[in-house]
Amino acid sequence: MKSKEFLVVIMLALFLATGIGIKYLVDQAEEITVEEEELGNLELKHLGGSLYSLTGDVGIGDCERIVPQLPTTAPFTLILESPGGSLGDGICLAANLKIRNVITVIRDTPVINNEGVVTYEPGMNTEVGKQLTLTQGRPIVMCASACSLLFLAGDERYLMGDVNLGIHAPRSAGAVPNATVAEASAYATANQLLTFLEYQLGVESADLRRLFISVPANTMYYVNPKDFNRADYLIKIATHYIDFHGFNLIDPHASIYEAMSRQAEEIRKMNAQRGGQ
């Protein structure tokens, strides 16, 4: 059967989703609309000091375009907001972030510089984000699909506020002529992703790695602290939880860049004070 919408994990999910809690998490996944990969509009923006944002759809060719713009000499913090996109470019970008000293952040509060100018407005940096934000009347911030790989590339990883970190499996990139080719393609893609997660991004938990190939590609599992008791390995996806859907935790074993952590805390306090005015 030929179909560009063939989901590479249909035959993998039942076989591989055997870890404790994985089937439960797969059951929590939401249906999504799967669109064709196109040229992306990913934008790297310098917000001041060592703070940057990377927002927009991850498209084919974005890695080659964005990597030369990344800081190379000093640690930096990167705010992420993207519904995902090209798996190949997502892997490429994540690999290039991992070799740098970077803190990745998903947050639902704005960044305001010393002049009072908003340099990052959450929920307004992607088309889907804008639509949801305007519909629901509050910032809807997501880092999903390929963006979740970028998040995992951080030495420290912050989830701040009611944000959405979405995980699902990849799909085939083109027409699949028959079941044999489909199966071979599915296993090859799954193996590539599992290897990348373990050996380049340093994801130690086999169950957490399997989650990235077990959630069917036409759905999305959004990380939620209510699931941590059922699947305790899931908590390792971030190192810092700050009011993440009401959950707070700092991993005591996280490698901490003290100066940058202080900067992040000062930004958070400033935004909290501004919100109270």
- Residues 178-198: tens digit of each pLDDT: 556 556 677 888 899 999 999
Binning pLDDT at 50, 70 and 90, where does residue 276 land? low
pLDDT digits (tens, 9 = 90+) for 156-186: 999 999 999 999 998 765 555 655 655 667 7
Domain covering 10-275: architecture: Alpha-Beta Complex (3.90)
Q: Which of 152, 77, 86 is nearest to 111 (CA)?
A: 77
Complete DSSP assignment for 138-165: S---EEETHHHHHHHT-SEEEEESS-EE
Two structure tokens written together for 105: 């952040």
Is residue 5 scored above 60 in pLDDT? no
Looking at residue 14, what is its pLDDT? 40
**What's the whole-model pTM score?**
0.82
pLDDT digits (tens, 9 = 90+) for 16-35: 444 556 777 777 777 766 55
Is residue 271 scored above 70 in pLDDT? no
Helix 87-98 and helix 179-199: axis angle, to 10°? 10
What residue segments make up the domains of the chain, in order of their start? 10-275
What is the Cα–Cα distance from 40 to 59, expressed in whole angstroms? 3
Percent of the chain topping pLDDT 70: 75
Question: CB within 8 A of 51, min separation 6: which ones?
Answer: 76, 77, 79, 111, 263, 267
* Identity of the residue numbered 73: T
The DSSP secondary-structure symbol of 246 reads T
The DSSP secondary-structure symbol of 58 reads B
Percent of the chain topping pLDDT 90: 65
The DSSP secondary-structure symbol of 171 reads -
What is the Cα–Cα distance from 74 to 96, expressed in whole angstroms? 14
What is the widest separation between alpha-carbon atoms in the chain? 62
What is the Cα–Cα distance from 204 to 157, expressed in whole angstroms? 15
